[in-house]
């Protein structure tokens, strides 16, 4: 009788899903039936979302179509609704609403993280995150729309409100996004004769005593000064109590009427884990060992279950102070995924997988064109050199040659041409004109 194929389920189509599957497809010495489960049709390269918001990169160029990316893996468009590790079955609700049961021999938990949102009054109604292409494009459109509305009103209070933008969360993602959008707003205002002499108000709210801690203490302090020198208000050790009625009410008593509020205050593991029987850590991550195997409290492997990326709590043996875990970033997710793609074929052949050990390469952050901060193996870079390091690293890290070429050509066109201030908000409701005509 022919030998049955080993069924591998990859849950999630982000960094982990893409690179695990690519690596698995190279292992022709084992007969694998690979299925990738992901609600979206594409993988998003999130580090370049600020450049999408700034208009330097086209939205589709930071995506990778999953069906085109794989040679023979099957892609199931749907969301995981349950996982029974004892029965080795995953339930999925497909995009057409059907429920499917997928059995597996090995399963990869790689659904990533979602925006961590606190129950702040008004936030769900008025706020927007910055973790998806849709959110990056929407924030760009909102800035351009607000500038246009400010130019069209003679009410001074309304004008100031339209030109006031609030960011909650001062990690480097928030700082990068704010920097790009702040530059965009100034260019859009300069293009409006009715707003001659006007300046936008950008406010960054951070609960800690510093911003962009990922780049290290010295560059964090420099980044704070850099933002403030550009007229951006940074409020440290401050939180937002509510944002109802388009007014941000802060813990220091200040009230700020705003035209847009963006929430970048961290992430949390995908809550789909609540519908599984997998062991969880204190912050909700699935618990894995150094070999990326999901393990119980006693250290025993949940047979056939692996995890990587933002959704997993993976011990970091490189740190002096223990226990320590790898931070949730693309640098780790990509490398963990490649190792995991090597480990599953080893496990099938009854060989022991390697441990995941990675010493960080550092952090690069862009604060707009020719501005940024970078800490690369302890070498500190600022502004032009940091910005070039940021673009070089992410161009190399962007999956597929096709996307690299498109991004690079877009950067060249952006450098040689005028700033594109075209809003695309009509794309968000493409049937608007047709409905009006029909009515």
pLDDT band at residue 424, thresholds of 50, 70 and 90?
confident
Residue 80 scores a pLDDT above 70: yes
> Who has greater pLDDT, 430 or 35?
35
Element (DSSP H or E) covering residue 383? none
Q: What is the mean pLDDT of residues 279-289?
A: 96
Query: What tens digit of pLDDT does each residue of 35-53 get?
Result: 999 999 999 999 999 999 9
Q: What is the mean pLDDT of residues 262-269?
A: 94
Average pLDDT over the chain, rounded to whole?
95
> Who has greater pLDDT, 191 or 437?
191
pLDDT band at residue 429, thresholds of 50, 70 and 90?
confident
Residue 426 scores a pLDDT above 80: no
Q: What is the pLDDT of residue 193?
A: 96
Element (DSSP H or E) covering residue 257? strand 255-257
- The answer to whether residues 317 and 327 touch, using CB atoms and an 8 Å cutoff, is no
Q: What is the mean pLDDT of residues 290-302?
A: 96
Question: What is the distance between the alpha carbons of residues 165 and 170, in angstroms, rounded to a whole number?
Answer: 14
Lateral strand order in the sheet of 201-205? 127-128, 260-263, 164-168, 201-205, 233-235
Residue 3 scores a pLDDT above 80: no
> Who has greater pLDDT, 405 or 435?
405
Question: What is the distance between the alpha carbons of residues 238 and 179, in angstroms, rounded to a whole number?
Answer: 20
Q: What is the pLDDT of residue 201?
A: 98
pLDDT band at residue 4, thresholds of 50, 70 and 90?
confident
| Range with lowest mean pLDDT among 86-95, 318-327, 396-405, 425-434 | 425-434
Q: What is the mean pLDDT of residues 190-214?
A: 96
User: DSSP letters of 216-255?
Assistant: -HHHHHHHHHHHHHTT-EEE-S--EEE-GGGEEEETTS-E
Q: What is the mean pLDDT of residues 264-288?
A: 95
Extract the tokens encoding 267. 């992430």
User: Which of 383, 369, 384 lies closest to 414 in space, CA to CA?
Assistant: 369
Residue 131 scores a pLDDT above 90: yes
pLDDT band at residue 1, thresholds of 50, 70 and 90?
very low
Residue 2 scores a pLDDT above 80: no
Query: What tens digit of pLDDT does each residue of 216-227 get?
Result: 999 999 999 999
Q: What is the pLDDT of residue 439?
A: 82
Residue 417 scores a pLDDT above 50: yes
Q: What is the pLDDT of residue 437?
A: 86
Question: What is the distance between the alpha carbons of residues 125 and 127, in angstroms, rounded to a whole number?
Answer: 6
CA 86 to centroid of chain Cα atoms: 32
Using only C-alpha atoms, the chain has a radius of gyration, in whole angstroms, of 23
Query: What tens digit of pLDDT does each residue of 88-123 get?
Result: 999 999 999 999 999 999 999 999 999 999 999 999
Extract the tokens encoding 99. 């429920």
Phi-psi bin for 123: left (phi > 0), alpha (psi -120 to 50), beta? Answer: alpha
Q: What is the pLDDT of residue 178?
A: 98
> Torsion over CA of 27, 336, 101 and 114, rounded to 10 degrees?
-150
């Amino acid at each position: 009788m022919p030998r049955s194929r080993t069924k591998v389920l990859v849950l999630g189509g982000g960094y982990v899903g893409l690179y695990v599957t690519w690596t698995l497809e190279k292992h022709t010495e084992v007969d694998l039936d690979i299925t990738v489960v992901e609600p979206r049709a594409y993988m998003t390269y999130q580090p370049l979302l600020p450049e999408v918001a700034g208009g330097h990169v086209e939205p589709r160029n930071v995506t990778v179509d999953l069906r085109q990316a794989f040679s023979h893996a099957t892609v199931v468009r749907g969301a995981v609704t349950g996982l029974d590790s004892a029965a080795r079955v995953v339930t999925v609700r497909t995009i057409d609403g059907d429920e499917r049961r997928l059995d597996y021999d090995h399963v990869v938990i790689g659904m990533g993280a979602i925006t961590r949102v606190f129950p702040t009054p008004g936030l769900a109604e008025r706020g927007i995150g910055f973790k998806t292409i849709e959110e990056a494009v929407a924030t760009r459109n909102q800035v351009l729309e607000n500038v246009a509305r400010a130019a069209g009103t003679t009410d001074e209070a309304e004008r100031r409100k339209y030109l006031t933008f609030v960011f909650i969360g001062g990690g480097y993602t928030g700082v990068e996004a704010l920097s790009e959008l702040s530059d965009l707003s100034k260019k859009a205002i300069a293009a409006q004769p009715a707003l001659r002499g006007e300046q936008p108000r950008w406010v960054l709210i951070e609960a800690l005593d510093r911003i962009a801690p990922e780049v290290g203490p010295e560059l964090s302090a420099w980044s704070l000064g850099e933002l403030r020198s550009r007229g951006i208000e940074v409020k440290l050790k401050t939180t937002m109590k509510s944002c109802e009625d388009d007014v941000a009410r802060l813990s220091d008593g200040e009230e700020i009427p705003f035209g847009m509020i963006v929430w970048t205050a961290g992430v949390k593991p995908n809550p789909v884990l609540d519908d599984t029987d997998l062991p969880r850590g204190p912050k909700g991550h699935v618990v894995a060992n150094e070999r990326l195997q999901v393990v119980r409290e006693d250290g025993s492997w949940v047979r056939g279950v692996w995890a990587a990326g933002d959704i997993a709590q993976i011990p970091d043996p490189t740190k002096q102070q223990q226990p320590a875990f790898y931070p949730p970033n693309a640098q780790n997710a990509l490398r963990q995924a490649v190792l995991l793609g090597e480990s599953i074929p080893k496990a099938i052949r009854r060989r022991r997988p390697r441990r995941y050990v990675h010493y960080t390469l550092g952090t690069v952050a862009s604060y707009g064109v020719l501005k940024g901060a970078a800490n690369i193996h302890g070498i500190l870079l600022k502004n032009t050199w940091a910005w070039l390091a940021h673009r070089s690293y992410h161009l190399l890290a962007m999956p597929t040659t096709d996307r690299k070429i498109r991004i690079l050509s877009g950067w060249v066109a952006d450098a040689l041409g005028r700033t594109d201030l075209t809003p695309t908000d009509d794309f968000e409701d493409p049937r608007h004109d047709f409905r009006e005509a029909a009515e």
